[in-house]
Amino acid sequence: MASIWEKDVTLPRFPALRKDARTDVLVVGGGMTGLLCGFFLQEQGRDYLVLEKDRIAGGVTKNTTAKLTWQHGLIYTRLRRTFGTDGAAAYLAAGTQALDAFDRIIAGGVDCDYEKKNNFVYSLRAGEKSDLIEEAETIRSLGGRAVYTEQAEIPLQISGAVRTFDQASFHPLKFLAALTGGLNICENTAVTDVEKAADGYLVQVESAGGRHFTVRAGQIIIATHFPLLKLWGMYFVKLYQQRSYALALRGTGMPKLEGMYIGTEAGSLSFRGWRDVLILGGFGGRTGRSGQGCEELRRQTSKLFPACHVETVWAAQDCMSLDGVPYIGPYSDHLPGVFVASGYNKWGMTGSMMAALALTGQMDREISKVFRPDRSMLRKQFFINGFEAAKNLLTPTAPRCTHMGCALKWNRQEHSWDCPCHGSRFGREGAVINEPAQRSVNRRKGDIER
């Protein structure tokens, strides 16, 4: 299930760590967030090191639909109700700064199929028109450009949409291939433990070949997909994961899209164009509970574009926060100098840039406060996450997830063992596919056979 982005790019390779090291800032995770942090730290002349346990951009980053936008669904009316006008305005300002930062970097000579586009959040339900109009008005009141429209290029009978201007799309792996060449990165180097020290932290790592080293770091940025340190910060109840699906389509009868589109309803389609390809996404659900999302996406695609063929299909896995806002900032009061970035709610490209700007000191602190990880957890999703964890912890079946012991579910679509609690995934033989689990499932007779 390789994504369309993997077909025409070779990313630079980096050596594994070969000796003990010392650095002012250790960045753990070589996806979009960690690599952007490394890029900005290098621009600032800081002493830093990025560690990636496998290959850079080898996880969620390569499976994006690669939209760059601050319009993350119908969120601004809700954000204003939850966080007040200042909080909603801060989220919009952070997203605007993220897009401006992409503009600046790419204008410096990065060839990554970057295109300025308008973005549309559409609805198929007639009764949602007033919500769309209210959202457009809210965005304008916060300083953004948005209009309500009933015009769209997609082959669906929409009831209306919110259109925003000067958003963008790009090729994420081309972007990173150009960005990372001179960065201080070690691949195939996994963090196994973090301990407090007098001058910061002692970080234990396992390098290629099973060799073990220590990295002394003054500060740490945890930029792994799901936060690595499970005993602090309560991220195991603040976050859950969803899987969704995407495919690349070629052939006749496809619209040549000038804009990017995403629907308001669960199961609605996402659209964007790239060269002569139409990228469609959607039909996601909670990891470990999702059903036939990939097949449903194929069925809908066949109905809409019967003369086209599917070139490739892939899946994305996204960390979802309790309130629709990422967690970016101090990891926990118990870990001074350790920072986290996670919970992008399916908007990882913009979220990664927002996080990198905030964590490297390039975003105004008043703006970045909207992302503070210690904000209230008293949201409906908190109780849903707790129920899922309790239910699956008490389910008396094997195999069990190596993260916190929840019962795993067999995913017949993707031939994997998935955890409904926190979203870890394991291959048929028990090897870790997706975090937060770090250890494989021990393969005992009958445990991992299907």
For residue 118, pLDDT over 50 is answered with yes
Residue 429 class from Cβ within 10 Å (0-12 exposed, 13-18 middle, 19+ buried)? exposed
Q: How confident is the model at residue 404 (pLDDT cuts 50, 70, 90)?
A: confident
CATH code of the domain made up of 380-434 = 2.102.10.10
Total-model pTM: 0.94
pLDDT given at position 284: 80
pLDDT digits (tens, 9 = 90+) for 164-185: 999 999 999 999 999 999 999 9
Lowest mean pLDDT among 49-63, 311-325, 389-403: 389-403
Q: Please answer whether residues 204 and 193 qualify as being in contact, where contact means their C-beta atoms are separated by less than 8 angstroms.
A: yes
pLDDT given at position 98: 98
Q: Please answer whether residues 406 and 420 qualify as being in contact, where contact means their C-beta atoms are separated by less than 8 angstroms.
A: yes
Which of 5, 32, 104, 3 is closest to 347 using CA atoms?
A: 32
For residue 434, pLDDT over 80 is answered with yes
β-strand pairing of 409-411 with 115-123 = unpaired
Q: How confident is the model at residue 415 (pLDDT cuts 50, 70, 90)?
A: confident
Encoding tokens for residue 9? 């790019």
What are the backbone angles phi and psi of residue 407, rounded to the nearest 5°?
-70, 135
Mean pLDDT of 349-375: 97
Residue 96 class from Cβ within 10 Å (0-12 exposed, 13-18 middle, 19+ buried)? middle
pLDDT given at position 449: 44
Q: Please answer whether residues 186 and 128 qualify as being in contact, where contact means their C-beta atoms are separated by less than 8 angstroms.
A: no
Sequence ranges of the domains in the chain: 4-64+175-234+323-371, 380-434
pLDDT given at position 450: 43
440 or 351: which carries more pLDDT confidence?
Answer: 351
Separation CA 318–CA 323 (nearest Å):
14
pLDDT given at position 218: 98
For residue 348, pLDDT over 50 is answered with yes
Q: How confident is the model at residue 388 (pLDDT cuts 50, 70, 90)?
A: confident
Which of 99, 149, 95, 81 is closest to 120 using CA atoms?
A: 149
Which segments within 52-188 are labelled E, that is strand? 67-68, 115-123, 146-149, 160-169, 185-186
Mean pLDDT of 220-225: 97
For residue 431, pLDDT over 70 is answered with yes
- What radius of gyration, in Å, describes the C-alpha atoms of the chain? 21
- Percent of the chain predicted with pLDDT > 90: 74
Taking every pair of Cα atoms in the chain, the longest distance, rounded to a whole number of angstroms, is 65
Residue 353: other Cβ atoms inside 10 A: 25
3-state SS assignment for residue 365: helix
Separation CA 28–CA 186 (nearest Å):
10
What are the backbone angles phi and psi of residue 303, rounded to the nearest 5°?
-70, -45
| Helices and strands, counts by H and E, the chain | 9, 21
**395 pairs with which residues across the strands?**
none
Please count the CA atoms within 13 angstroms of the CA of 124 that sit on its side-chain side: 13
Residues contacting 86, CB < 8 A, separation 6+? none
Q: Please answer whether residues 17 and 184 qualify as being in contact, where contact means their C-beta atoms are separated by less than 8 angstroms.
A: no
Encoding tokens for residue 224? 């792994």
Encoding tokens for residue 357? 């700007």
For residue 262, pLDDT over 70 is answered with yes
pLDDT digits (tens, 9 = 90+) for 65-89: 999 999 999 999 999 999 999 999 9
What are the backbone angles phi and psi of residue 292, rounded to the nearest 5°?
-105, 45
pLDDT given at position 446: 42
For residue 444, pLDDT over 90 is answered with no
Separation CA 184–CA 52 (nearest Å):
11
Lowest mean pLDDT among 148-157, 227-236, 362-371: 227-236
pLDDT given at position 443: 59
pLDDT given at position 290: 61
Q: Quick one: DSSP state of residue 97?
A: H
For residue 346, pLDDT over 60 is answered with yes
CATH code of the domain made up of 4-64+175-234+323-371 = 3.50.50.60
Q: How confident is the model at residue 445 (pLDDT cuts 50, 70, 90)?
A: very low
What are the backbone angles phi and psi of residue 192, rounded to the nearest 5°?
-110, -20
pLDDT given at position 55: 96
Vertex 196, ends 58 and 327: CA angle to 5°?
50
Separation CA 154–CA 65 (nearest Å):
17
